[in-house]
Amino acid sequence: MATIFTAQPVTIRVDGESTVSGIALAPPDPIACYVLAHGAGAGMTHTFMAAAAEGLAQRNIATLRYQFPYMEAGGRRPDTPARAHATVRAAAAEASRLFGSLPLAAGGKSFGGRMTSQAQALAPLPGVVGLVFLGFPLHPAGEPSITRAKHLSDVKVPMLFVQGTTDKLAELEKIRSVVAGLGQRATIVEIEHADHSFHVLKRTGRNDGEVLAQALDAVADWVRNLVAA
């Protein structure tokens, strides 16, 4: 039977006037913490986010999930990049406070991962030794482009891209090209038949649970190797 871990509510101060909620989840002896940001349309308590955090705890990786301010306020329009970047930075600082010298990875689902990489490109996040993207949103659906990846050349830490092969927000050949262009700093793990939400159709012979397990195994292996290096 899988171990049940207890989630700890956290308050993260973004600036002098505002805070956002967070949830820390840690196994007894974690090897690292993943600062995990949500996507544009659903917050930190979404079933995917909760399952990812629980699955990573089972793989000996702690997580700190957190809300962006617009989601905290119940809004639908994402924050400005500057506001999102400040939140990412505050969350990384809070993870450092909570977990001390534990190595940090940062990133998240879709929008959250992209805001994290933009923040890291502008100035290194405290304690962060690598970035992990769960479905990097390379372009709008139906508009293949690599414009959103330009800032990644300014990211100097290792990056892991976990991408579904049918993701309509990251056409496979284009995301492969982006990762190849980043050289040894970047690794891509392709999840066969998965879309942007890591959902697979029944006719593929797989289910969403198997897909998530594959994705989390990849994240855990990559983080483990990063920490060992």
Which residues, 6+ apart, have CB-to-CB distance to 83 below 8 Å?
A: 14, 68, 69
**Domain 8-228 sits in CATH 3.30.930.10:** no
The answer to whether residues 69 and 14 touch, using CB atoms and an 8 Å cutoff, is: yes
224 versus 229: which is more confidently predicted? 224
Domain boundaries, the chain: 8-228
pLDDT higher than threshold 60 for residue 2: no
pLDDT higher than threshold 70 for residue 1: no
pLDDT for 95 equals 96
pLDDT for 139 equals 96
142-187 tens-digit pLDDT: 899 999 999 999 999 999 999 999 999 999 999 999 999 999 999 9
pLDDT for 40 equals 93
Percent of the chain surpassing pLDDT 70: 98
Chain centroid offset of residue 206 CA: 23
Mean pLDDT of 125-136: 96
30-69 tens-digit pLDDT: 999 999 999 998 999 999 999 999 999 999 999 999 999 9
Tokens of 175: 């995301």
pLDDT for 4 equals 59
Which residues, 6+ apart, have CB-to-CB distance to 205 below 8 Å?
A: none
pLDDT for 3 equals 62
CA angle 204, 205, 211 (to 5 degrees): 85
Q: State whether residue 138 is helix, strand or coil.
A: coil
Mean pLDDT of 208-223: 97
Mean pLDDT of 122-142: 95
